[in-house]
Chains A and B, each alone.
Chain A
Amino acid sequence: MINANVFHPAQFSSPHRQFLPTEQDSAEATIRVMLLPLADSQALPDQARPFSDAEIPDVVILTEMNSAQLLAGNLSPALYAILPVIDASGIRASTDPNRRCADLSIASAQKGAIADALEVLKGSIERVRSLAPSVLHSADPRVHLLARLFVSDRGLTPRRDPSRPETVSYVDEAVIANVQGCAEELSELKLVERVFFDRVPVCPRCHSARLSVREQCSVCQSANIGEEAIIHHLRCAYQGLEHEFKTSRGLACPKCRERLEHFGVDYDRPGFVSTCHACGHASSETSVGFICLDCEAEGGALELAYKTIHRYQLTEAGREYLKSGFALPARRSREAGFDGRIHEFVSRHAALTTPCSVLIARFKASRKTVVGCAAERARALYASIIKETFTPETEIIECPPFFFVLLSGDDKRDVEGALPEIRQTLERNFASPMEVDYRVCGPDEILAFLSNEIAC
């Protein structure tokens, strides 16, 4: 009768009657319910009542099929994300991850069933009520996520989803845009903590995890390979593939034409090789390769990049924040952030009339040099070297594939003169030659670069 989409089944075990109001209950103890669409409140049990316009509802009950579509129109973004929703339409809850679904489904909008559902959601409703008012009015999706996790008393856990290029999705994606980005920002603020979920290989070109991994020829990368036995003719030392020995009358040595009749006496089968039917290459070892199902990029296992997937748990600091309701630090848009920092750097030096320049290093990871994990490792090493090369006061902005080194007091000509030495210092610790393009920009050039290159 009750379909719990999100909440733990253990919640059903609590006796619902204890939640029923008594005569002494204050008005605040009555559950404020938003019925969608607006329907007769006679269906509500005694402990619930329709919310008034001046109030914030505690819970939303959907009474008809497709009434979920009304949620966004009738609730603010914060309430849309935070409030628990009961689907009393009697229709099986949608499993579409892109649609906001109910937190609990019941068979019908009968009083008893709604009372049971409210009892199940008792904890969530209490937690909604414990939220600071600013949280319920916030426009910040990070706050919405934090409050949603708190109210539903769970973490943000990915689920396997082959329909997505990442092969995982989060149940809250339909409610909060860029939910993973929000979770990452919250983890930087220590309001949620990241917990390892999985590490998946992804296409180095499009970062899709939908890959077809297969054994393939190590020379031509064709998957058209087959295994064949090696036959050793002991008498003449000829050792070749089985098909060379096969004749209509059995096995015969292609070198000396002698018939091979007795295994272990005339001949041995000392091993197998994999033969590529495309290029004819034969070897005991095949390579493992992939083809990306999204962009059709092909490559070897060593070229694969890897992506770590996390689930996110609310921390104690996150819970405390929701009760206090202080505003979170302003959201940091990555592009706008580095763009703004460079603009600010240039403006500052223009005001002080001191020379400045920006060294731009564009890190390239071509297929010939470093790919996949190796490219990531190389870039991380390059990032640490570039930080050690310049003074601690020098601001270095990393925005893959670019590194911007903001150099105060040095004009473009000085930096260009020192560039060979800088380059050697940055690259001398790499075993294989790095493909990094360097460019030195004066104040005007860097602004033009930002507007032209980065915008593109």
Chain B
Amino acid sequence: MLTAGIKLLFEFDQIQRAWQFIDAVSLDSIIALIWLTLLVEIPRYFLGFQATAAAILLRGPGRLPPLEAQPKVSVLLAGHNEEHAIEKCVQSLHQQTYKNLEIICVDDGSTDHTFSIMTRLQHEGLVRAVARLDLRGGKAAGLNLAALLAKAEYFVVIDCDCSFEPTMIEELIRPLLIDPSLGAVSGNILVRNWRASLTTSLQAIEYLITISLGKAFANILDQVACVSGAVGAFKRAAWEHVGGMDAGGGEDLDVTIRLRLAGYRIEFARHAICYTDVPATFYALLKQRSRWERDAFWIRLRKYRRTINPFWSDFSWRDAVHQWDFILVNMAPALAFPFYLLWLVMWYGEFAWVILVGTGIVLLLFDMAVFTCAVLVTGQTVYWRLLAFLPLYGPFQSYVMRLHRIYAYITELAFSLSRKDQYVPQKVHQWSVWR
């Protein structure tokens, strides 16, 4: 009892001293303490997102009436060992409000019953064409074959394991019908298994903030740089202009950048909602994010690094902005974060944790505001329940995912691990080059 009482008094004394310290420092000094947060987090994740939410909610068109004309749309499905998902996916597509669909399935070297299910669906008239590949060639090649078999002027590319809002395709195609300058439209992805674990709940918050709200923000600035592989729509002419998907991982980011470089605009359709399952365990999440971060690094800084070079003959600020955004807002803070922590500890010693906790509390308030905007913009009120996990979201992103991002960047820089992951067949990896 005595020991516990002394400990409590000691801690109380520490907090008192910390408060006295904060009280004593000037505003300039506080800014100097949390410069990283002020410089990066607040403008992007707070001001920008708030402005986007306000713009969408106050003057946005909201949900639009059904399309009068429905030109034919080809839905491209390329799957490897998707026997548990493919039928549900096809059936779900036939529940869409957009009826003029043809579904093209490519079985990318499956060793399960995927092809027989696809064949049955074709015989039942639910799928227009099925192609079987005995050798796995990767999702990019599978989609390229599916596009070849497709007949429509518009393609919708989706993942087999996703489910959709009934209006998803209608909302996805609508911008393409209205704006001839568009090459592709990215859909909105929400987490289906957000109740499964703490990891999935935190990812659900992340998807809401970074995709639902983040891409809406990017959309206003014409900076949508990735048409999600899980759900996106393309104009055939644009697809063929850039030669479809390229070899290697991160094919969705890759094709979007090529479309942008070819002069096409990319839009985000927030009402085109697709639900996906995210990794339910922490280990699986780290593996997935390693792949994503390495692919992003490889594509942005190796394959398309010319886009950040102002002396490149085709340089355009439109494409340089999202590249610099990636470098300055994603990479640089992640790489600077350990040094910032070190600097805090070296300069402020035992007060460093007070500063970090204080910053965390401020960021929690920001996160709450941003999360509120994201839920309002998405219109999926069920996600309000995630509010309970919001206090963990900031530390999780700052101290776990950010440090893991550093690991992914360094290993990619040093060992080019993106060329060794199992997601793409090795025979394709060996040819993955940047031009």
Please report A residues at the B interface, Cβ cutoff 8 Å.
218-219, 230, 232, 234-241, 255-256, 264, 268, 270-271, 273, 281-285, 287, 302
Contact = CB atoms under 8 A, between A and B. Distances in A.
A268 B247 CA distance: 14
Nearest to B78: A239
A283 B427 contact: no
Interface in B131-165: 131-138, 140-142, 144-145, 148-149, 151
B243 A238 contact: yes
A236 B138 CA distance: 12
Given A237-B246, A240-B145, A283-B131, A218 B428 contact: no
Interface in B233-259: 243-248, 251
Nearest to B138: A237
Given A255-B243, A268-B135, 5 more contacts: A232-B137, A238-B141, A239-B144, A264-B427, A268-B427
B227 to A, nearest CB: 16
A255 B242 CA distance: 9
B431 interface: yes
B302 interface: no
Given A219-B128, A232-B141, A283-B149, A237 B134 contact: no
B79 to A, nearest CB: 14
B130 A283 contact: yes
Q: Could you say which of A219, A239, A264 has the most chain B C-beta atoms within 10 Å of its C-beta? A: A239
A387 B313 CA distance: 82
Contacts of A218: 122, 129
Contacts of B428: 234, 237
Nearest to B124: A302
A237 B106 CA distance: 14
Interface string B165-192: 0000000000000000000000000000
B131 A271 contact: yes
A287 B123 contact: yes
B360 interface: no
B433 interface: yes
19 contacts: A235-B433, A237-B140, A238-B243, A238-B244, A239-B133, A239-B141, A268-B135, A268-B137, A268-B427, A270-B133, A270-B136, A271-B135, A281-B128, A281-B151, A283-B128, A283-B130, A284-B131, A285-B122, A302-B123
A230 B131 contact: yes
Nearest to B243: A255
A295 B32 CA distance: 90
Contacts of B48: none
Contacts of A273: 131, 149
B247 A271 contact: no
B193 interface: no
A264 B426 CA distance: 12
A416 to B, nearest CB: 37
B131 A282 contact: yes
Contacts of A284: 115, 130-132
B109 interface: yes
Interface in B112-134: 115, 119, 122-123, 128-134
A286 B134 CA distance: 17
Contact of A270 (B115, B130, B137, B148): B137
A234 B141 CA distance: 8
Of all A-B residue pairs in the complex, the 6 with the closest CB atoms, nearest first, are A270-B133, A283-B129, A237-B247, A270-B135, A239-B145, A235-B431
B145 A230 contact: yes
A237 B140 CA distance: 6
A237 B141 contact: yes
A235 B433 CA distance: 8
A239 B246 contact: no
A270 B140 CA distance: 14
A444 B148 CA distance: 65
Contacts of A264: 427
A81 to B, nearest CB: 49
Interface residues of B, number: 36
Contacts, number: 93
Interface of B: 109, 115, 119, 122-123, 128-138, 140-142, 144-145, 148-149, 151, 243-248, 251, 427-428, 430-431, 433
Contacts of A240: 144-145, 148
B431 A238 contact: no
B293 to A, nearest CB: 22
Contacts of A219: 128
Contact of B134 (A270, A282, A283, A285): A270
A236 B431 CA distance: 8
A235 B137 CA distance: 11
A232 B136 CA distance: 10
Contact of A237 (B109, B135, B144, B149): B144
Nearest to B140: A237
A287 B125 CA distance: 11
Given A230-B145, A237-B138, A284-B130, A270 B247 contact: no
Contact of B427 (A230, A234, A282, A302): A234
Contacts of B149: 273, 282-283
A234 B427 CA distance: 7
A455 to B, nearest CB: 39
A436 B364 CA distance: 65
A285 B122 CA distance: 8
Nearest to A218: B122
Contacts of A234: 137, 247, 427-428, 430-431
A255 to B, nearest CB: 4
Nearest to A219: B128
Max count, chain B CB within 10 A of own CB: residue among A271, A281, A282: A271
A184 B424 CA distance: 65
A237 B244 contact: yes
A302 B243 CA distance: 39
Contacts of B148: 239-241, 282
A125 B68 CA distance: 84
Contacts of B123: 285, 287, 302
Nearest to A240: B148
A264 B140 CA distance: 18
Contacts of A271: 131-135
Contact of B133 (A230, A256, A287): A230
Contacts of A285: 119, 122-123, 130
A281 B102 CA distance: 12
Nearest to B135: A270
Contacts of B135: 232, 268, 270-271
Contacts of B427: 234, 264, 268
B151 to A, nearest CB: 8
Nearest to B242: A255
A284 B132 CA distance: 6
Nearest to A301: B123
Contacts of B136: 270
A379 to B, nearest CB: 22
Contacts of B251: 237
A12 to B, nearest CB: 54
A239 B430 CA distance: 17
B425 to A, nearest CB: 9
A219 B248 CA distance: 34
B137 A236 contact: no
A445 to B, nearest CB: 41
Among A236, A273, A281, A287, residue most surrounded by chain B Cβ atoms (within 10 Å): A236
Contact of B243 (A256, A270, A281, A283): A256
A239 B163 CA distance: 27
